[in-house]
Amino acid sequence: MVDQSLSYNQPNLPATVSGGGIGLAYLYDATGAKLRKANTVSGTIVDYVDGIQYTNSTIDFIQTEVGKAQNNGGTYTYIYNLTDHLRNVRYVFDI
C-alpha cells in the first residue's frame, strides 16, 4: 500500500498531494480559481491565466469559445469543439 497525503486550504480545495512518487502543490485566487499547479518531483510548473495554460513559462494552449489553439513548437493547431444544446462537447476536430 502506498502512503499518500492530501491537504486542503481554507475553502476546502486541494492544496498539496504527496506520496507514491507524486508531489503536487496548488495555488488558487480568492474566488477559488486555480492559478498554478507545481509538480515538486519533476519541477514542472503549470500556470492558468484567463484561458491560457503555460507549462514552464511557455504557452501550451489557448482556450477559445469554440475550442483551443494548441502550441506545437511555435506553430498553433486549432482544435474545434462541436457541442450540443447543453454545451457538452460531442465531437472534436481540426481543419
Q: Please list the rounded mean pLDDT of every run of 10 residues in the chain (95 residues).
A: 86 94 95 96 96 96 94 94 94 90
User: Residue 14: phi, psi to the nearest 5?
Assistant: -60, 130
Structure confidence at residue 1 (pLDDT): 57
Sorted by sequence, the CB contacts under 8 Å of residue 29 that are 6+ apart come out as 35
Residue count of the chain: 95
pTM of the complete model: 0.82
pLDDT given at position 78: 95
For residue 36, CA distances in Å to 30, 68, 80, 82 come to 13, 19, 25, 28
